Amino acid sequence: MGSARFLPIQVAAVCYRKSGGSFDFLLVKTTGGDRWTFPKGDTARRLSHSEAAEREALEEAGAVGIIDPAHFHLYLQPKGDSRLRNVVQEFVVKAFLLEVTHTQRPQEPKRNPTWFSGDDARRVLERGREERHAAELCTVIDRALERLSAEGRIVPRYRPALIYRIWRSLRRISRLGLVK
């Protein structure tokens, strides 16, 4: 049997706000300033993982709000220069939803926190990344929208009409108590 490969863990705050009938996501520039990402960082001994993600949102994006105590998604993220094979390390990132109530000046300079629609967030998260890692980040947006719509807040506008009709029918049935 081969040995198991353990990857270090980081935490990310997927910061969102309701915008009309959809959601916007707050992204920050990477420390190099060339790509967009979620506020994320290392775990902390004295903080739960959700509290550590909340701290990252405040430090990097100046986002203050209500964090979900349970992560909603795991994704892989490289850290380092992908052009140099020995300099890249992969992390497992636990993503937590954070509903932003207000923002303030971020503690970290040059992060340029900016709000994006779901579609625009996917586009900017893809830029400058290998296809595999770009897909991971786009999936985070998709899972966030699924989670938020499952809570009955909205149905994301990007969903195809058939899926929306099925979702609406199931929701109606569950309200009638026919499905438990």
> Which of helix, strand or coil describes residue 20?
coil
Confirm whether 19 is domain-assigned.
Answer: yes
Each residue's pLDDT tens digit, 107-118: 998 999 999 999
Considering its fold, how many domains does the chain have in total?
Answer: 1
Q: Which residues of 76-87 are buried (b: 16+ CB within 10 A; e: fewer)?
A: ebbbeeeeeeee
Confirm whether 3 is domain-assigned.
Answer: no
Residue-level pLDDT at 175:
64
Question: At residue 60, does pLDDT exceed 90?
Answer: yes
Residue-level pLDDT at 20:
85
CB atoms within 10 A of CB 140: 23
Give the domain extent around 105.
Answer: 9-175
Confirm whether 52 is domain-assigned.
Answer: yes
Each residue's pLDDT tens digit, 6-19: 789 999 999 999 98
Averaged over 87-99, what is the pLDDT?
Answer: 89
Of 82 and 152, the structure prediction assigns the larger pLDDT to: 152
Confirm whether 180 is domain-assigned.
Answer: no
Confirm whether 49 is domain-assigned.
Answer: yes
Averaged over 102-109, what is the pLDDT?
Answer: 94
Confirm whether 152 is domain-assigned.
Answer: yes
Confirm whether 2 is domain-assigned.
Answer: no
Confirm whether 81 is domain-assigned.
Answer: yes
Q: The CATH number of the domain where 111 resides is what? A: 3.90.79.10
Averaged over 114-137, what is the pLDDT?
Answer: 95
Burial class (CB in 10 A: 0-12, 13-18, 19+), 177: exposed
Residue-level pLDDT at 7:
86
